[in-house]
Amino acid sequence: MSSLLPARKASEDWCGAFPNFRIMRTHPADIFEALHFAAREFVSLTATILDGLKQTFFNFSQTAGKVSGPVAIIATGAEVARTSLDGLFQFAAVINLNLAVINLLPLPALDGGTLALLLVEAARGGRKLPREVEQRIMSSGIFLVLVLGLILIVRDTLNLDFIKEML
């Protein structure tokens, strides 16, 4: 089993995909130890993701520029793939955990937004919100997600090295 660990100093802050890493190899003695390693890594990665998300919300002005969009994630994934297949698998796991955590945020258009609407319905004694209100909430969420995605795609594309050279 390999572990992808960021090679960073304690004083450095970062959020999102980060290509600077070191791989630590460990070999479990049996399936139970492998499951233990996997569970420990899952908890560790999830805690790191939640901490990064917390930093993003509470220090938005300082961390907004460090949030990665799809273009930066693909560029980082390509860099990791050139380095190590083990690292690529670990990177894929980190991306999947990130998506799972973000999907649970209580934003309209995400699963967390649907859960939030269900909680509102439960708080109202089982009475649903009017369909038109739900649709407006979800539409605004979709718009917000699309605009944020577009902003990140443009910013990340402009930050690619070969694009910087052309400009």
Tens of pLDDT, residue by residue over 52-102, are 888 888 888 887 777 888 899 999 999 999 988 888 988 998 999 999 999
Retrieve residue 78's tokens.
């390509």
Cβ(69)–Cβ(149) below 8 Å: yes
Give the DSSP letter of residue 11.
T
Q: Percentage of residues in the chain with pLDDT exceeding 70? A: 86
The pLDDT value given to residue 2 = 47
10 band by pLDDT with thresholds 50, 70 and 90: very low
CA distance 92 to 85: 11
Distance between CA atoms of residues 135 and 31, nearest Å: 48
User: What's the predicted TM-score (pTM) here?
Assistant: 0.70
**Per-residue tokens: 84:** 């190590």
Tell the burial category of 102 from Cβ atoms under 10 Å away from its Cβ (0-12, 13-18, 19+).
Answer: middle
Distance between the two ends of the chain, CA-based, in angstroms? Answer: 43
* DSSP code for 110: S
pLDDT digits (tens, 9 = 90+) for 28-52: 889 999 999 989 989 998 998 899 8
Encoded tokens for 96: 């999947």
CA-CA distance, 85 to 2, in Å (whole number)? 10
What pLDDT score does 23 carry? 61
pLDDT score of 4 more than 70: no
Q: Can you state the angle between helices 131-158 and 70-83, rounded to 10 degrees? A: 50
